[in-house]
Amino acid sequence: MTIGSHSQSFRMLVDAGSADMWVPGDGCQGENGGGCGPHPHLGPRSSSTFKDTRRAWYTSYGSGSASGTIVRDRVRFAGFSLEHTFGVARNESRSFIEKDIPLDGVLGCAKSNISMQGVPTLVESLQSAGMIEKNIISYKISRRSDGKNDGEITLGGMDPTKYDPSTLVRLRNVNRLGFWAASLDALKINGKHIKLGKEKECILDTGSTLISVPDEDAAIIHRSIPGSAFNSSLSSWTVPCRTKTIMTFYFGGRPFPVKPSDLAFLPVDNPKGACTSAIVGNGGGEGTWLLGDTVIKNIYLSTDQDRDELAMARLT
């Protein structure tokens, strides 16, 4: 994505779990002082079309926070070019500024009613400008270990070359707050049905990595994974790094399995031994799960704001 009169390039995290767009602004400061790392910054010095409204914004994530002022400038990406209102960060948490962070800003793709900036999302602006007919965002997230770099975001529709149409299901969005969520029909591990009690609302969040569930559910799930254990020193569950466990989510009556290697997150000390699990307990309420890219990179996901529904399919 490029922004401003000089088309400065920014790498954006496409986040279905938030609704704000922001990039670092001139004079941005890290939480411990100093600048905001080796990332491009936007301001009147780098763009003659930059307009600062002086209105403040602040947003927080599971991994940190950012704050600044709301601005307006020209945004260009994927053949689109439009004036858009978004945020520039004057302050960022450490999690956003370190040199090994492969992103410069965030592009929120949830509904604008959860925007902390109180402005339309970029996709809503594209639809209002007549550049796309439908407010649909579709995601094919690549797996780094595959080495294909074949991830893709499609705006205004779905890419039929990326999914198996015979597996496509359309699901009602069950979240009333502005996130994207579907009701879980069932969960199986290695073909065995897992009894979970209360119905689960699963929020699909491309801006998160892991599967985040209440502590009790995390324990139930791990008890069905061979070789799993709770590591008290890490306060987290571990699974064998070379686990063969297949975790299958059922939505709309269809199975969506997760590749076994995706359940093993990071080695504790030996890549052939135990790895921290990609399924984490969050201490939250019993009815809500958050499914990050551990799950989403195994499916084709599409969100339709006009119809307030999600679509899922198996990848080709």
Let me know the angle formed at the C-alpha of 57 by 52 and 62, rounded to the nearest 5 degrees: 135
pLDDT at 126: 98
Which DSSP symbol is given to 315? Answer: B
Least confident of 28-37, 131-140, 199-208, 234-243: 28-37
Q: pLDDT of 202-222, one tens digit each?
A: 999 999 999 999 999 999 999
Whole-angstrom distance, CA of residue 3 vs CA of residue 222: 45
Residue 166's pLDDT band, with cuts at 50, 70 and 90, is very high
pLDDT at 44: 98
**Cross-strand pairs, 152:** 140
> What are the structure tokens assigned to 288, written together?
């809500």
Contact 189, 247 (CB under 8 A): yes
pLDDT at 18: 98
pLDDT for residue 285 is more than 80: no
pLDDT at 63: 87
Domain 2-128 CATH superfamily: Acid Proteases (2.40.70.10)
Q: Is 0.85 surpassed by the pTM of this model?
A: yes
Q: What is the mean pLDDT of the chain?
A: 96
Whole-angstrom distance, CA of residue 5 vs CA of residue 14: 23
Which residue from 14, 23, 132 is spatially nearest to 73, judged by alpha carbons? Answer: 23
> What are the structure tokens assigned to 120, written together?
């339309």
Report CA torsion sign: 173, 191, 150, 106: positive
Q: Does domain 158-314 have CATH number 3.40.630.180?
A: no
pLDDT at 197: 85
Same fold, 2-128 and 158-314: yes
One DSSP character per residue, 206-251 reads: TT--SEEE-HHHHHHHHTTSTT-EEETTTTEEEEETT----EEEEE
Residue 144's pLDDT band, with cuts at 50, 70 and 90, is confident
Strand 80-92 vs strand 12-15: parallel, antiparallel, or unpaired?
A: unpaired
Q: What is the mean pLDDT of residues 111-137?
A: 98
pLDDT for residue 284 is more than 80: no
Question: pLDDT higher for 148 or 15?
Answer: 15
Q: pLDDT of 92-107, one tens digit each?
A: 999 999 888 899 999 9
Secondary structure, 3-state, 250-289 = EECCEEEEECHHHHEEEECCCCCCEEEECEEECCCCCCEE
Q: Where are the domains of the chain?
A: 2-128, 158-314
Residue 271's pLDDT band, with cuts at 50, 70 and 90, is confident
Phi, psi values for residue 273, rounded to 5°: -105, -125
Catalytic residues: 15, 205
Residue 163's pLDDT band, with cuts at 50, 70 and 90, is very high
pLDDT at 286: 77
Whole-angstrom distance, CA of residue 282 vs CA of residue 223: 17
pLDDT for residue 187 is more than 80: yes
